[in-house]
Amino acid sequence: MAVGAHEAHGHHEENFVSKYIFSHDHKMISKQFLLTAVFMGVVAMLLSILFRIQLGWPEESSDFLHAFLGDRWAPDGILDRNMYLGLVTMHGTIMVFFLLTGGLSGTFSNLLIPYQIGARDMASGFMNMLSYWLFFLSSAIMIISLFIETGPAMAGWTVYPPLSALPQAVPGSGLGMTLWLTSMAIFIASSLIGSLNYIVTVLNLRTKGMHMTRMPLTIWAFFVTAVLGLLSFPVLFSAALLLIMDRTMGTSFYLSDIIVGGEMLDNTGGSPLLYQHLFWFLGHPEVYIVLLPALGLSSEIISTNSRKPIFGYRAMIGSILAIGFLSFIVWGHHMFVTGMNPFLGSVFVFTTLLIAIPSAVKVFNYLTTLWRGSIVYTPAMLFAVGMVSTFITGGVTGIILADSALDIAVHDTYFVVAHFHVVMGMSAVFGMFAGVYHWFPKMYGKMMNTRLGYVHFWTTLISGYGVFFPMHFVGIAGAPRRYYDYSVYETFDANQFEIIFELNQIISVFAILGGFAQLIFLYNFFYSIYRGPKAVQNPWKSNTLEWTTPVEHIHGNWPGALPEVHRWPYDYSKPGAEEDFIPQIVPLAEGEEEH
């Protein structure tokens, strides 16, 4: 049946537009997502370097700032105070949503779901195309908002009203905020269409023998991620819609008893906390929407390159499901000091700390997978090991922040910034890098340069920890985030001012180094697309189905019939086997137990 459909497809004439632009093919769409994400990631990183220059060397004139921001936002090379807030807001928004949500899921769910479950393509190629182009449109609007006269959104990436609702409070809450909300609404539509497609594909298009309990952990992670997105993004959509109404139609969902810029507003009865509940109802699952794909990719890469089965496959699936479920009932831990009822806070302490259990299980299972392995250090494997290290480092500080009693004095300080950057800025990004290095041969049919990959990994690991580790010290000292500078400390504690100043400089130096390190990746990535050596069919000696497809992409993925699956994907170094890997398509030998 599926074969028949494929043959019918084969007669389509492909022209440039249908092949490269409005493509329905999951492999092309995956590449489109990746390239857009790389571009967005570079922009967001550049924004962070601009504000790190301000934080490291406040009050010093910088040609670099002036070159990028001009007289409007950096007169005499000194960063404008409002633009500082704009930079942090846009950095956060782009990184979280465009690189790590759209980019990460968009690239790898698209590439790997059909490949690894043995499908010809996504359930709906048209919806898949629509998902990408909505993502592209929302990216374009978000980028455009950087260039308007009143500046981009300046209310932080969480855009809490009333700040985000009142242009009188900050200039970015004018047109900048309108564009932000428009972009996010489109982004959410893209994400929903994508998620729906991933879920349907995983449930319906698995090839013969690919039971749910034989799926690679990547697919499990993408599947749960898609479910999380499908259930939580609509809530953010509602939140954004109500905010748009408050801004344009005079409603009072989030506004009450406000005097701003000398003007008394007649809004009454709204609650700013309502927005926060709606935002974090997405916002916390969102953290796992970012993280689960990274964990899934790393599971696959660690197992393949340790030449060992992933330890506790079923426990890993259980952990993914548990994390997915719990992520919906923990959002209140972002709101311990917002004025939310303290009793409700206690409930969220309990649920939040529960989520540490499946996370701990995952970490120990990774460790046991490495134990007595036969580790091959491909660049992907290095990044996967780095992913586990940062997942640990960022995870343990989460225990402090989940504990409402302890959150009080570190809430909204650099301790929080350190925590979520180690988890998202390092762990999730490392997972994404690992994925790119590992599946580059599948995407482009070429090999990336291994040695440049090594240099990229080690410089990125060192500069990443160099940036985010000192932030814990700044944060435990109580230094608030989103401060233009820390000169206020000079007025009450000169000693602490010195310490924070020095740490900020160290952080900024590492941030700039980290920026340069990514140039190595960009060079390697683009150079290899054009001039990299040609890849072989199964370069990493891996078991999963994608490596049974031809190197040159073909429509429908497999030239003949779809492959049939006979075993789980982790038969590495199985006793009795000659090779140290047995692909999933190899039937069980006589008397062989599955695992």
Q: Which parts of 421-450 interact with other proteins (CB under 8 A)?
A: 441, 447-450
By C-alpha distance, which of 353, 333, 354 is closest to 344?
Answer: 333
114 binds other proteins (CB under 8 A): no
Q: Quick one: which of 60, 493, 526, 588 contacts other proteins (CB under 8 A)?
A: 493
Rounded-to-integer distance, Cα 100 and Cα 145, Å: 20
Tokens of 453: 């990959």
259 binds other proteins (CB under 8 A): yes
Question: Residues 182-211 vs other proteins: string with x where CB under 8 A?
Answer: ------------------------------
459 binds other proteins (CB under 8 A): no
Rounded-to-integer distance, Cα 129 and Cα 32, Å: 10
Rounded-to-integer distance, Cα 464 and Cα 117, Å: 35
Residues 239-258 that bind other proteins (CB under 8 A): 255-258
268 binds other proteins (CB under 8 A): yes
Rounded-to-integer distance, Cα 586 and Cα 592, Å: 12
DSSP readout, 552-580? Answer: S--TTSSSSSPP---S-TT-BS-TT-SSS
Give least dist CB 372 to other proteins, A: 4
Give least dist CB 391 to other proteins, A: 10
Which of 1-9, 17-25, 183-191, 348-356 is the region at the interface with other proteins (rule: CB under 8 A)? 348-356
Q: Quick one: which of 17, 264, 559, 589 contacts other proteins (CB under 8 A)?
A: 264
Q: Is 452 exposed, middle or buried (0-12, 13-18, 19+ CB in 10 A)?
A: middle
14 binds other proteins (CB under 8 A): no
Which of 90-98, 118-126, 485-493, 555-563 is the region at the interface with other proteins (rule: CB under 8 A)? 485-493
473 binds other proteins (CB under 8 A): yes
311 binds other proteins (CB under 8 A): yes
346 binds other proteins (CB under 8 A): yes
Which of 101-109, 240-248, 326-334, 470-478 is the region at the interface with other proteins (rule: CB under 8 A)? 470-478
Q: Residue 167 — φ and ψ, nearest 5°?
A: -60, -20
Q: Quick one: which of 22, 57, 133, 469 contacts other proteins (CB under 8 A)?
A: 469
Looking at the DSSP bridge assignments, the partners of residue 147 are: none
Cβ proximity to other proteins: between 290 and 381 the closer is 381
Rounded-to-integer distance, Cα 42 and Cα 36, Å: 10
Residues 384-403 that bind other proteins (CB under 8 A): 385, 388-389, 392-393, 396-397, 399-400, 403
Calculate helix-pair angle for 272-306, 429-444, nearest 10 degrees. 60
The DSSP element (H or E) to which 9 belongs, if any, is helix 2-10
93 binds other proteins (CB under 8 A): no
Which of 42-50, 126-134, 231-239, 487-495 is the region at the interface with other proteins (rule: CB under 8 A)? 487-495
Residues 535-554 that bind other proteins (CB under 8 A): 535-536, 539-540
Rounded-to-integer distance, Cα 425 and Cα 378, Å: 22
Which of 10-18, 207-215, 292-300, 527-535 is the region at the interface with other proteins (rule: CB under 8 A)? 527-535
Determine the distance from the C-alpha atom of residue 160 to the mean position of all C-alpha atoms in its chain, rounded to a whole number. Answer: 21
Size of the chain, expressed as the number of residues it contains: 595
The helix/strand/coil state of 251 is coil
Tokens of 489: 């400390």
By C-alpha distance, which of 349, 435, 341, 353 is closest to 387?
Answer: 435
- CB 398, CB 419: distance < 8 Å: yes
169 binds other proteins (CB under 8 A): yes
Cβ proximity to other proteins: between 19 and 541 the closer is 541
Give least dist CB 50 to other proteins, A: 17
Question: Cα dihedral angle (574, 576, 578, 579), rounded to 10 degrees?
Answer: 0
593 binds other proteins (CB under 8 A): no
The HSE-up count of residue 453 (CA atoms within 13 Å, CB side) is 22
Residues binding other proteins: number (CB under 8 A): 142
The DSSP element (H or E) to which 451 belongs, if any, is helix 450-476
Which of 10-18, 34-42, 163-171, 278-286 is the region at the interface with other proteins (rule: CB under 8 A)? 163-171
Q: Quick one: which of 527, 551, 553, 555 contacts other proteins (CB under 8 A)?
A: 527
Give least dist CB 366 to other proteins, A: 8
124 binds other proteins (CB under 8 A): no
Looking at the DSSP bridge assignments, the partners of residue 413 are: 480
523 binds other proteins (CB under 8 A): yes
